[in-house]
Amino acid sequence: MPPKTRSANPRLSARPGGSAVAGGKSVDHVIVALPKGRLLAEAMPLLKRAGIVVEQGWDSPDTRAMRFSTNRPDVSVILVRSFDVATFVAFGAAHLGVSGDDVLMEFDYSEVYAPVDLGIGRCRLSVAEPTDMVAGDDPARWSHIRVATKYPNLTQRHFAARGVEAECIKLNGAVELAPGLGLSRRIVDLVSSGATLRAHKLVEVEHIADVTARLIVNRTALKTYPTVIGGWIERIRAAADAA
Amino acid sequence: MPAASWLLPAGLADILPPDAAFEAATVERLMAVFAARGYRRVKPPLLEYEDTLLAGPGAAMTGMTFRLMDPVSRRMMGLRADMTLQVARIAASRLRNAPRPLRLSYAGQVLRVKGSALHPERQLGQCGVELIGSDAPEADAEAIVLAAEAVGAVGLADVTIDLTMPALVPAIAAGLGLSAEATTALVAALDRKDVTRVDRIAGSRAPVFRALLRASGPAKPALARLASIDLPEGTRAELARLRDVASRVGAGRPRLALTIDPAEHRGFEYHTGVSFTLYARRARAELGRGGRYVSTMGEPSTGFTLYTDTLLRALVAPKPERVLFVPRGTPAATARRFRAEGWFTVAGLEAVDNVRAEARRLFCTHALIGKSVKPVGRGR
């Protein structure tokens, strides 16, 4: 086992007989989960305005570290995959997190609050299909379609609401390749400029939702430490509003 | 027997020593706290006819209920996914002539078709009370204080009670003329505390809901902020009730951490008045919830359910202190005398060379060596 799979913090590891909220008995230490990838560079200045400066090295391309200290002794940051931020927060392994609305809609965790729209990572979630298919396609006739996507739950819900059974092929990336190679004719994916779609001869046929990144909060953490966690929500809200 | 044949269906587990005994003891301690406040235990059956079990407010459990056909009556039966409604049914039927307010308690296991991400278990323990036939704020406060006391009695001291008014948001939405469809979407957005979506759904009427979100937090400042919100006529009584109950709970248990969240609705689908959720710093999820509802007979009621599995995960089972290994050949009367003094005895069935080691191997804390009791050190 490579050492990076082990929790750096004994407080995060499961205790026998107890599945404690991160930080154990007190939030003397707030853990913020941040998504690796495109959102991270936008999230860092926002955190800085809220008073959290992450230690040097987080953006070094060859770092294997996953946990970073900050200028605040009571706050540390973990870097995880964007789809995992919501999971860390839902299970109480992190108290706060930054996550796209797309991920929140996909998992629909009851234990996660999304109180602040950070206004970063703006894009939309859309259905796309090959350009040459659009003319002959009448969505009203669909009863069953096959869709390649990173968002099987969300996709299924979206189509079920209009009486269509969506058979989803879950991919973790390169979704735009699917139609050209015959994996599925339609995809559901994030679109920001639309350039990737055009490059793969795809066209947006339906807009599902607008997406931005949210500050997310573990429900139990907010309820049992309303002052500490509520204070961070207010500071991050102010930082987002000031942008 | 191949190991694969030990596999249990998803979400089901064998509970082993010492956890099973600890669970039973914890449930009994909770029931004793309820009994001390005049709540009398009922025991509904595991199965009921589907149309009784899922009638009225039970409809919320439709998607979670296992069903099977009764070969005798050839009617569909449901395996209970929640006990609250069974107790309410008992109160409305066989105990309809019992004097009100009626205080009932219950403990048992429920089964669900599907677990959730956080609770993959499909069999869960529930333990709770119902207080039926009183609309008094004293009844609300009694239930809330009792829940905190019960959880405290089994060793979770640092509980937080989050008070909610599930009927408030729909009432405000109706007062402001929002459609039923918009209200459903609004309630879902408020459950996420998603201000952006609240704005999108409520438009010009969003400020009051935004204000509700910002008013949540520790009870005192939250109540002050709530009082300054301009609420539609007809919803102020709800708020006054919340304030009344909060102050009664504060008086009854001054050191209890009390928060207020006027926008929380999830899981309170059939509640009509002051409701609450219990949290503890040591537990990753809520320990229980309860609140005011109207029974199928139309009686004003309140109550709560504690989730014994979540509760147990936050507790540490105490190690047994006095388990005595009694070697083979010890007179029965001697072992009986130790048991009478409070010892648990474990009898040796075969002669062994090293009594001390044998005692340790069988998780005993002590061994009877000669005529004296000797500690043997911890086994496991």
B159, B161, B193, B286, best to mutate vs chain A, most A CBs in 10 Å: B193
Judge whether A11 lies within some domain.
no
Q: What is the ipTM, given to two decimal places?
A: 0.89
Tokens, residue B118: 């956080």
Judge whether A234 lies within some domain.
yes
B330 in contact with A, Cβ within 8 Å: no
pLDDT of residue A22: 43
Count Cα atoms within 13 angstroms, Cβ side, for B18: 14
Identify the CA nearest to B325 among candidates B273, B281, B279, B377.
Answer: B377
The residue of chain B with its CA nearest to that of A95 is: B284
Residue partners of A200: CB distance under 8 A and separation at least 6:
A176, A177, A179, A180
Claim to verify: residue A134 and residue A179 sit in the same structural domain:
yes
CATH code assigned at A154: 3.40.190.10
pLDDT of residue A11: 38
The residue of chain A with its CA nearest to that of B163 is: A223
Helix (H, G, I), strand (E, B) or coil at B362: coil
pLDDT of residue B234: 80
Using a CB-CB cut-off of 8 Å, the residues of chain B touching A115 are 193-195, 213
Give the tens place of pLDDT for each residue, B337-347: 999 999 999 99
Number of domains in chain A: 2
pLDDT of residue A1: 36
Claim to verify: residue A105 and residue A205 sit in the same structural domain:
no
Each residue's pLDDT expressed in tens, for chain A with a length of 243 residues: 333 333 333 333 333 333 334 434 455 799 999 999 889 999 999 999 999 999 888 887 777 788 999 999 999 999 999 999 999 999 999 999 999 999 999 999 999 999 999 999 999 999 999 999 888 888 888 899 999 999 999 999 999 999 999 999 999 999 999 999 999 999 999 999 999 999 999 999 999 999 999 999 999 999 999 999 999 999 999 999 987
Judge whether A152 lies within some domain.
yes
pTM of the model: 0.89
Claim to verify: residue A85 and residue A146 sit in the same structural domain:
no
Claim to verify: residue A106 and residue A133 sit in the same structural domain:
no
Judge whether A222 lies within some domain.
yes
The residue of chain A with its CA nearest to that of B157 is: A25
Instruction: Closest CB to B217: pick one of A21, A110, A226.
Output: A226
pLDDT of residue A6: 34
Judge whether A12 lies within some domain.
no
Residue partners of A56: CB distance under 8 A and separation at least 6:
none
Claim to verify: residue A235 and residue A133 sit in the same structural domain:
no
Claim to verify: residue A161 and residue A52 sit in the same structural domain:
no
Judge whether A221 lies within some domain.
yes
Instruction: Closest CB to B193: pick one of A92, A111, A113.
Output: A113
CB atoms near residue B9 (< 10 Å)? 7
B282, B287, B380, best to mutate vs chain A, most A CBs in 10 Å: B282
The residue of chain A with its CA nearest to that of B160 is: A224
DSSP secondary structure of B235-256: SHHHHHHHHHHHHHHHHHSTTS
> Per DSSP, what are the bridge partners of residue B375?
B366
| List of chain B residues with pLDDT < 70 | 378-380
Claim to verify: residue A76 and residue A152 sit in the same structural domain:
no
User: Does A110 sit within 8 Å of B282, measured CB to CB?
Assistant: no
User: Does A224 sit within 8 Å of B257, measured CB to CB?
Assistant: yes
Cα gap A181→A201, rounded to integer Å: 12
Q: Which domain holds residue A170?
A: 123-211
Claim to verify: residue A137 and residue A58 sit in the same structural domain:
no
How many angstroms from the chain centroid is the CA of residue A19? 23
The residue of chain B with its CA nearest to that of A26 is: B281
Claim to verify: residue A63 and residue A179 sit in the same structural domain:
no
Report the gap between the CA of A25 and the closest CA in chain B (Å).
6
Claim to verify: residue A225 and residue A105 sit in the same structural domain:
yes
Instruction: Closest CB to B314: pick one of A18, A214, A223.
Output: A18
Burial B237-272 (b: 16+ CB within 10 A, else e): ebbebbbbbbbbbbebbeebbbbbbbbbbebbebbb
Claim to verify: residue A238 and residue A184 sit in the same structural domain:
no
Q: Domain coordinates of chain B in residue numbers?
A: 323-375
Claim to verify: residue A128 and residue A112 sit in the same structural domain:
no
Residue partners of A61: CB distance under 8 A and separation at least 6:
none
B314 in contact with A, Cβ within 8 Å: yes
